[in-house]
Amino acid sequence: MLKAWKMKSKEDIVIDFFNYLLCIIIMFVTIYPFYYILVVSFNEGVDASLGGIYWWPRKWTLDNYQKFFSDVKWLRGLGITVLRTILGTFIGILFTTLVAYGLSFKELVNRKLYMVIIIISMYFSGGIIPYYTLLKELHLIDTFAVYIIPGALNTFFILVGLSFFSDIPSSLRESAKIDGASEWRVFRKIILPISTPFIATCILFVGVGHWNNWYDSAFFVRSKNLKTLSYLMMEVINSTQVSAISQQFGASSSTTTVSIQTAAMIIATLPIICVYPFLQRYFVTGIMVGSVKE
């Protein structure tokens, strides 16, 4: 490596230096806010409110996390969010993949009509009031199903999957059917294993969408037992009644609303950070699916 540096001109060394410096600055600006929240979450709330905490906790404590996990409402919200993310992602990926695979058959009757309907739904919507009315007529308002059924199909990933499945040679499917495999077995045993990059990318985007979604809880769910963690956090952040929030969290002399809030943020962010490394190796391949047309 030193030999490579010696072979470079002074201009190249200066350019490389500023490139590395810029990358370090961008990385710091990106990571430090999360690190700061992590530090505050492990510090006593009253002490953190005095300021001056930048790199590590001044007074270590787990009270903020204990307060969070001792609140039944927040634990329930976490459970609803986890259940919604798992079921919503599984059902969404299943239906999206099946529809995209079906549309990849050029011999499908009315294929172009289905494509037009899907594309129109991407650009035009009826608005919030007609959408609410539709959910009400379907008896989805104030039910857990309102988190799952409306998002069972992702039109964007249907088009991405369509492009991906269209690139799979039809001879692969035909040879399997000649050997006696049914259409479902072809899809399950052959198509799905080679579709891992596409499916992994869908899981990442759809799962994060379900995990962070507070919109449905705000407009379509009235029951407090069905509120998601993201909605509860949004409610706390946007509330102006600090004393009411403190009472809601059960803040003690060593904790504050902000310190417990930071603990909730860490808990809400940690699952996504843990899952991402396992899907990251498929991410670039999956996101580029269908981007090149030949």
Query: Options 1.10.3720.10, 1.20.810.10, 3.40.50.300, 3.40.50.10680; which CATH number does 64-287 get?
Result: 1.10.3720.10
Q: Which residue in 23, 33, 93, 28 sits closest to 279, CA to CA?
A: 93
* pLDDT, average across residues 214-222: 88
| pTM assigned to the model | 0.75
Task: Say if CB 70 and CB 249 are below 8 A apart.
Answer: no
In the chain, what are the domain boundaries? 2-62, 64-287
pLDDT tier at 13 (50, 70, 90 boundaries)?
Answer: confident
pLDDT for the residue 160: 85
Structure tokens at 77: 């919200």
- CA–CA distance, 30 with 277 (Å, rounded to integer): 17
The tens digit of pLDDT for each residue in 149-172 reads 988 888 888 888 888 888 877 777
The tens digit of pLDDT for each residue in 223-278 reads 888 888 888 877 776 654 444 445 555 545 566 777 777 887 888 788 878 877 77
